[in-house]
Structure 1
Amino acid sequence: MSLPQGKVVLTDTATTPEVEPLSSLLAHPLLQDPKFVAAAGGLVVLLIFLSLFRTGKKASRRSGPTTVLLVGPSDSGKTSLFTKLVHETYIQTHTSIRPSITTFPFNSPYEDGQTKPIKLIDLPGHPRLKDELKKYVKEASAVLFVVDIQALVRNSAAVAEDLAPILVTLSNQSITTQSEPTKVLILAHKTDLLTRSSSYEIPESSLTTARARVKSILTREMDRLKATRTKSGAGGKIESLGKVAGISSSGFFAKLFGSGSTGVGLEGEDEGEDESLIWGGKGGFSWDDVEGVEITFGASGLGPVGAKKQEKEGNGLDEVKSFIWEV
């Protein structure tokens, strides 16, 4: 059958591209260079090693019983709190000059009969002993920063200067190990002394006042400290790009190998710690800007000295016990 004149039959003349065999790819000049092959192989081995190393660091930090650190200025009541939690009794104590460490079965505050092992470490608040924190921070899941709420007004600047390097250390530890944020409870302790009531129960109004007071005063002092550090060029960040990207502002390699120094550090801060992790961007200080640390505020009180465990417990440690149990 003949085709009508003027019509053209189109045929598909495109050919399927040939796929190069694997042997030809392996014959690429680069893959024939022993130096290139050795370098590529070494890079792969290094990446695998670093991945396994960092996984091991994260696992070791959380292995064993839950570790809780008691830190804060001297005479804030840390040792009395330690004794009350461990031995369920409140005795008069003196300023500690060495850490107190114990592991004990911690009872659930919800009266459900459950217990879990807690390793509680009371670190001295003396300025010469502040480096003790760095010995235990890697294993800590939570930190209680204990503040004497009655003495805070006259000692607020010193308390903030104690708190800042602790947050720097905790923040750098969490960021460089890519671990879960360390939980920190800033505790307005001795709240029972704000009320004249002889009851074991601390009025809720006193607890609320203490929490608000410690947060307000320390926010003001941390804001002042941030302004001083930023003005001197030692701290603060212009932009918090790391947070937007979902990583630390120190960048990938800072997280992988450790953050670099930002210059003059806070007292007690290691040269390799990045102070800017706690200051956030421009503007006033905000607790939410502290990277790698989850900060909450609480209030507590121990009641009369010498109270035995068989006597009425009261509500003075309810927030502390809930915090420790939920870690």
Structure 2
Amino acid sequence: MEAGSSGSDMGGKADVEMAENPFEPYMDSLRQQLEDQDPVFLIGIVVALAVVVITCVFLKYFLTSKTVRSAVLLVGLCDSGKTLLFSRLLSGKFKRTQTSITDSSAPYKPKNDRGTTWTLIDLPGHDSLRSQYLEKFKSAARAIVFVVDSAIFQKEVRDVAEFLYVLLTDTVISRNVPALLVTCNKQDITMAKSAKLIQQQLEKELNTLRVTRSAALSSQDGSVGSSLYLGKKGKDFEFSQLPMKVEFLECSARGSKEEWQFTCVEVIRHLQ
């Protein structure tokens, strides 16, 4: 009786243990199979799993950190015609504007371009405001329309070049490489300079700025590595040296409906 009772107790304990950990037999079997395997084979499995995990982590980080850039920024000095350009791109109509003190934005869908919607953003051109608004929107820029007043360009060439220099040496813009369209506006005015002349003058001025800014940085900390270098070292600056697509376009935001339709098509073509 005692033996039967003891056997019954042991069977009961085994049943309890089995109930508590029903996977134990399978784990023991798997452990035994792993111990019987070639160590080189096991190392290969571990390495393969590690590669899969690292790849998944990398892809998740890359996809989640990637910024969707759909904004087209209209930038430039005060009274260059940015706001009128912004208005006519959206409505096609001419209307009087005033100097902007804040940003304006609106969705824009180019004609004959299915599925593409941009966000046009008109940034203030006043020197006390443009830096903070550029900082706010630069990460989202897929393209930058830099508007130049062609009629008084000779008077503003230094200021235009300095603003361009800030744009082109910005680390975020340099990394994202948005398309840059320098729009030489007010071509309807007799004294307006051509896009070719404006490009040449800006290249010359930017080359001078590059030398002076590099010298200033070198005198401060003994090196020029604290800022992005514009263009290629040892060569005079040209826009073709930049990693981004840069084009110059003549236009007049005050032009007739027919002239503006042509200009609008050209602006869109250069940004695509």
1:262 alignment partner in structure 2: 225
Q: Secondary structure at the match of 1:55?
A: helix
2:242 alignment partner in structure 1: 290
Q: Which aligned pairs between 1:148-163 and structure 2 lie closer than 5 A? A: 148-163=149-164
1:119 alignment partner in structure 2: 119
From the superposition, tell whether residues 46 and 234 of structure 1 become closer, same or farther in structure 2 (CA, over 3 Å): farther
2:85 alignment partner in structure 1: 81
Question: How many residues are paired up?
Answer: 227
% identical equivalent positions: 26
**AA matched with 1:69:** L
1:193 alignment partner in structure 2: 189
CA contact (8 A) 2:139 2:172 kept: no
Counterpart among 40, 45, 61 of residue 53 in structure 1: 61
- C-alpha distance in structure 2 between counterparts of 1:303 and 1:24, whole Å: 75
From the superposition, tell whether residues 230 and 279 of structure 1 become closer, same or farther in structure 2 (CA, over 3 Å): farther
Structure 2 unpaired stretches of 5+: 1-36
Work out whether 1:275 is the aligned partner of 2:228: yes
- C-alpha distance in structure 2 between counterparts of 1:49 and 1:26, whole Å: 23
Cα distance, 1:44 vs structure 2: 9.1
CA contact (8 A) 2:88 2:94 kept: yes
From the superposition, tell whether residues 44 and 232 of structure 1 become closer, same or farther in structure 2 (CA, over 3 Å): farther
Work out whether 1:322 is the aligned partner of 2:269: yes
Q: Secondary structure at the match of 1:275?
A: coil
From the superposition, tell whether residues 22 and 93 of structure 1 become closer, same or farther in structure 2 (CA, over 3 Å): same
Q: Secondary structure at the match of 2:143?
A: strand
CA contact (8 A) 1:191 1:300 kept: yes
- C-alpha distance in structure 1 between counterparts of 2:148 and 2:82, whole Å: 9
Cα distance, 1:103 vs structure 2: 0.8
From the superposition, tell whether residues 282 and 46 of structure 1 become closer, same or farther in structure 2 (CA, over 3 Å): farther
Structure 1 unpaired stretches of 5+: 1-20, 32-36, 196-205, 236-260, 264-273
Counterpart among 234, 247, 254 of residue 303 in structure 1: 254
- C-alpha distance in structure 2 between counterparts of 1:25 and 1:117, whole Å: 52
2:104 alignment partner in structure 1: 100
2:214 alignment partner in structure 1: 230
Cα distance, 1:118 vs structure 2: 2.4
- C-alpha distance in structure 2 between counterparts of 1:135 and 1:285, whole Å: 28
Q: Which aligned pairs between 1:177-216 and structure 2 lie closer than 5 A? A: 181-194=177-190, 210-216=194-200
1:140 alignment partner in structure 2: 141
Q: Secondary structure at the match of 2:253?
A: coil
Of structures 1 and 2, the one scoring higher in RCO (CA 8 A, sep 6+) is 1
- C-alpha distance in structure 1 between counterparts of 2:64 and 2:218, whole Å: 33
Cα distance, 1:153 vs structure 2: 0.5
**AA matched with 1:160:** A
- C-alpha distance in structure 1 between counterparts of 2:236 and 2:174, whole Å: 23
From the superposition, tell whether residues 224 and 158 of structure 1 become closer, same or farther in structure 2 (CA, over 3 Å): same
- C-alpha distance in structure 2 between counterparts of 1:227 and 1:125, whole Å: 26
**AA matched with 1:126:** H
- C-alpha distance in structure 2 between counterparts of 1:44 and 1:286, whole Å: 45
Cα distance, 1:285 vs structure 2: 1.0
1:168 alignment partner in structure 2: 169
Q: Secondary structure at the match of 1:187?
A: strand
From the superposition, tell whether residues 157 and 81 of structure 1 become closer, same or farther in structure 2 (CA, over 3 Å): same
Report Cα offsets for 1:75-99 as digits up to 9, x if no partner. Answer: 1100010111112111221110000
Cα distance, 1:126 vs structure 2: 1.4
Report Cα offsets for 1:57-90 as digits up to 9, x if no partner. Answer: 33x424xxx4211011111100010111112111
- Report the structure number with the largest CA radius of gyration: 2
CA contact (8 A) 2:184 2:251 kept: yes
Task: Indicate the structure with greater helix content.
Answer: 2
Query: Could you state the TM-score of these two structures normalised by the residue count of structure 1?
Result: 0.60
- C-alpha distance in structure 2 between counterparts of 1:91 and 1:24, whole Å: 76
